[in-house]
Structure 1
Amino acid sequence: MRYISTRGGIDPIPFREAVMMGLARDGGLLLPQTLPTITAGQLAGWQNLSYQQLAAEVISLFVDDIPRQVLEELIERSYGSFNHPQVTPITRRGGLYIMELFHGPTLAFKDVALQLLGNLFEYQLGLTGGHMNILGATSGDTGSAAIAGVRGKKGINIFILHPHGRTSPIQALQMTTVLDENVFNLAVEGTFDDAQSMVKELFNDLQFKDAFQLGAINSINWARVLAQVVYYVYAYLKLQKQGAEAVDFSVPTGNFGDIFAGFVAKRLLPAGCIETLILATNANDLLTRFVNQGQYAKGEVKVTSSPSMDIQVASNFERYLYYLRDEDGAQVRADMESFAASGSLDLSGLRSRVEQEFKSRSVSEAETEAMIRDFYQAEEYLLDPHTAVGVKAALDCRVDGRPVVCLATAHPAKFGEAVARAIGSEPELPPALAELADKESRCELIAADPALVRSFIEEHGLR
């Protein structure tokens, strides 16, 4: 399996090189040269596999330069830290299926991918004897999950940028209370989009990227997306076993990474297994406007109770655009250059194709709060604000007779203030979160200036 750029400017590379490259050297995002497919016979043989066993089967379709036994060991180690034997268990509530993706070390869905990515980095560096400096931006959960995946690992320093004051207090503490010598937190005076833009600018400086061996942990890294594809296949198999022929998924998303993994899973599985992907956004409705109107246009970032979706530039959108443009890298490059210059793309002529894959709903703050309260009262099940956005969209967009799996992306205790506004009291904190308030924290406040980030890495990075 070889990997290419969405912008067509690199020669095909193997998986391990793609993992270490992160952002393609031409500024695009890496994708498989061709997507494999899963047959009905393969699916039947996978029906009773554990999550870890299924992960090995799915991921091995995309990886041919890591021995199978080694890959299985990396996967087992990655999910050994999860507190549920099924890794991503599914529960039926309110006529929907809730897939809980928050049973990892930092209680968020990002753990599913970042525990594996950290081990892939360590494996590759062990083979080469090299080092790397990981640079990433987070709107909330990616940072803590990435830190948990690489803290203390030899030959790796990690630099995480988060928007100062725009994550939940617990999300910030999960990052800044990790005091390992290889961990550096930078609180950016700006938005997540500002932080993400600086990360991309530094990755596109190839001389700097090479000098400091920059590695990516954001969902610009293909391995992040690949690890997430697994739980879509896992959920489909669970519901197929209960008699479902086709399944829809509702995904709260701001950066398009999690739902793009669903798009890949839909392409992998036989036709009709995954029918519709329900794209749920909060008041930052960039992606909903794209699906429903064909306009991909930046707006002003709005602060909400679901901060991980407070985004107006969705990094992984470019990967979907590549397929929407019939895998024409030159056209994608032109589109992204136009978007960079004007802040908008008119894709209304492609709406009919988009609507074959997606439905979308933007959910307001009032609707999110009401969803948390109503679901708790009716089902005695507590949703975090992001999951509530996905559940509301699922209820509004579902088709009678077809099951919908809603992705529960974070433990509700990570967003205690928002939950308290909805139900009148904060959820009980799990021990891993309750102890954070008493821990020492360390963080550097920094202006939204890529030159300052560059200088910080030059001072503290591995060389």
Structure 2
Amino acid sequence: MSTFYHSTRSRNESVTSKQAILEGIAADGGLFVRDDVALGAPALDDLLAGTFQDRARLVLGHLLDDFTADEIAGCVKAAYGPNFDSPAVTPVTPVGADWLLELWHGPTSAFKDVALQMLPQLMRVSRAGDGRRIMILTATSGDTGKAALEGFADVEGTGVSVFYPNGKVSDIQRLQMATQRGANVAVGAIEGNFDDAQSQVKRIFANRELAARLAERNVVLSSANSINVGRLVPQVTYYFDAYAQLVAAGTITKGDKLDFCVPTGNFGDVLAGYFAKLMGLPVRTLVVASNANDVLTEFIETGTYDRRRPFHKTISPSMDILVSSNLERLLFYLSDGDCELVAALMGQLADEGHYQVPSELLEKLHESFACGKADDAETRETIRAAWEDEHVLLDPHTAVAKHVLDGHARDGVERVCLSTANPYKFSADVLAALGHATEGLDGFACMDRLSELTGMEPPAQLSSLRNAEERFSDVVTVGGMTSFVEDACARLFA
């Protein structure tokens, strides 16, 4: 029997996981959740056996249980194969006394690939026989956009529109999006930051008049952001996989606890770790690492979420976020499914820009989560030290997490730092952190210099961008995003 999903803000509508994946976001603006993540979860022994693909089948089959076993197996086979340059998919490697979980071996060199190579497969199965055409609508702070474009490019019956903050992503991130191939893709830079883009995307989803006009074309909107449960669920797999790798290596014994430190802005990556913990993975603490946009650090320390603060452009742009959408799902679970409380807190955030959780909820938060932050200077120093001391090259997001993890006392528990991007996606900032001048150098010159310095080859999918044709150069206002999407639907589904 299938476990149904409903909004974080009400239980008025129940949907299957297939419907939740296609809709992306609930009609009331909430995010889709199921009441009990643990109920019926596979045994830990089963989740630790086999390969990454075996674990993915079990995790997906549990959390998306209206898919058949054959459907899940087909999705896993299509998503995780030679498109990843490591047979382990997400290998664990040492960094000092700790461990890196390398999540960037996919086609766009970022952790988003683990989910966004899977989501198109889940959507393909979910819409089988549906007949409707789907426009994937995505806001990105840097990595999600390219991963969504790559995952959905030329998928039949599907289009994808991506918005990124103009001037607030790295040169390589911008080129990855601007040069994307495919007849069904559209890319727009917006005049604003990621929060502006994400907030407007949510308003577009709630626009009933637009939905009616698109319905006349047999088009519906869906999301590739981590607000989509089909984006979130695949990320749970690599927490189990990291644990399994450490057990297999003899580093830990089954049942030992692990700490994970996660660089995050939208809270999706670390929420997947919480799902893994609810499903029985022996996780002691999930350490949330923030950059100068430290709204999550303050929330975890105090229970106050306040987006009314300056927005900082940092060298870890994928974390430059002040409104962390997936936190809403955590509030649902910490409050034992209190939809009224979640709706009230989200309403206060929308109207007043802040909220305070009850003290008992804050206590439960502290049972599973810790936090820390790093400014750009600390991030650069961590990149330099990791290279000089360990001969490990970190991107700025991973370096934020490494700095935060280094600030937490060791007490005998093994610790895993999630490494979310290949350092060559941020060649200029990594090169500068190593003490080398970058003035007057474009992203590719920095890439070449970094390769000469370290002896490490950049991934071909990044170095080849220097010869790729730029197809997209549109810059739109936040208010113009709705028209951009509607025009893209008319053009791509003509």
Normalising by structure 1, we get a TM-score of 0.96
Q: How does 1:292-371 map to 2 (within 5 A)?
A: 292-298=301-307, 299-347=309-357, 349=359, 350-371=361-382
In the alignment, which residue of structure 2 is the partner of 1:191?
Answer: 193
Deviation at 1:348, TM superposition (A): 6.3
> Are the equivalent residues in 1 in contact too, given 2:132–2:220 (CA < 8 A)?
no
Matched, 1:426 2:458: no
Q: How does 1:36-435 map to 2 (within 5 A)?
A: 36-37=38-39, 42-80=43-81, 81-209=83-211, 211=215, 212-241=219-248, 242=250, 243-244=252-253, 245-269=256-280, 273-298=282-307, 299-347=309-357, 349=359, 350-423=361-434, 424=436, 425-427=449-451, 428-435=457-464
In the alignment, which residue of structure 2 is the partner of 1:10?
Answer: 12
Change (3 A) 1:183 1:46: same
Change (3 A) 1:96 1:334: same
Alpha-carbon displacement from aligned partner over 1:163-222 (angstroms, at most 9, x marks no partner) = 001000101111110132211000001100010011000011134236340010000001
Distance 1:317 1:121 in 2: 24
Alpha-carbon displacement from aligned partner over 1:31-71 (angstroms, at most 9, x marks no partner) = 113213577x8222343310001100111012232221121
Worse-superposed segment, 172-181 or 400-409? 172-181
SS for the counterpart of 1:127 is coil
Distance 1:47 1:393 in 2: 28
Q: Give the percent of matched residue pairs that are identical in Structure 1 and Structure 2.
A: 39
SS for the counterpart of 2:99 is strand
> Are the equivalent residues in 2 in contact too, given 1:300–1:312 (CA < 8 A)?
no
List alignment gaps of at least 5 residues for structure 1: none
Q: Which amino acid counterpart does residue 445 of structure 1 have in structure 2?
A: D
Change (3 A) 1:179 1:15: same
Normalising by structure 2, we get a TM-score of 0.90
Deviation at 1:114, TM superposition (A): 0.5
> Are the equivalent residues in 2 in contact too, given 1:38–1:269 (CA < 8 A)?
no
> Are the equivalent residues in 1 in contact too, given 2:266–2:319 (CA < 8 A)?
yes
In the alignment, which residue of structure 1 is the partner of 2:444?
Answer: none
Distance 1:459 1:48 in 2: 48
Change (3 A) 1:399 1:206: farther
Distance 2:163 2:389 in 1: 39
SS for the counterpart of 1:147 is helix
Distance 2:243 2:39 in 1: 15
Q: Which amino acid counterpart does residue 369 of structure 2 have in structure 1?
A: F
Distance 1:411 1:132 in 2: 31
> Are the equivalent residues in 1 in contact too, given 2:6–2:33 (CA < 8 A)?
yes
Deviation at 1:346, TM superposition (A): 1.8
Q: Which amino acid counterpart does residue 282 of structure 1 have in structure 2?
A: N
> Are the equivalent residues in 1 in contact too, given 2:191–2:478 (CA < 8 A)?
no
Q: Which amino acid counterpart does residue 42 of structure 1 have in structure 2?
A: A
Worse-superposed segment, 25-34 or 380-389? 25-34
Q: What is the aligned-residue RMSD (CA, Å)?
A: 1.6
Distance 1:279 1:324 in 2: 16
List alignment gaps of at least 5 residues for structure 2: 437-448, 452-456
